[in-house]
Amino acid sequence: MADTITIRTDDETDHALDVLTHGGISRSAAIRQAVLEAASRRERAAQMRREILRINLGESDGVNVADELARDRSGER
């Protein structure tokens, strides 16, 4: 048997639920779908972060970008 979840809504949440249920979908189904979609987005973002961290950046070119930016911006003051 599935667990029951209770949420407290505010005006913003009520509006979001109205938008999600406009096509006739039940509030329960809309909330379930929203939770699944949010989890999927979070998992995709975590996967992209892991993939980015695995990218081989190669050898350093010896340029310190922070120093270069500071030098460029020192004339702006």
- From residue 52, give the alpha-carbon distance in Å to each of 22, 59, 69: 39, 17, 24
pLDDT of res. 12? 97
Q: Could you give the CA distance from residue 34 to residue 32 in angstroms, rounded to a whole number?
A: 5
Selection from 48, 44, 15, 51 nearest residue 30 by Cα: 15
- From residue 32, give the alpha-carbon distance in Å to each of 21, 35, 48, 71: 12, 5, 24, 52
pLDDT of res. 68? 87
Please give the model's pTM, rounded to 2 decimal places: 0.66
Tens digit of each residue's pLDDT, the chain (77 residues): 689 999 999 999 999 999 999 999 999 999 999 999 999 999 999 999 999 999 998 888 888 899 989 988 887 65
Q: Could you give the CA distance from residue 20 to residue 27 in angstroms, rounded to a whole number?
A: 8
pLDDT of res. 63? 85
pLDDT of res. 75? 75
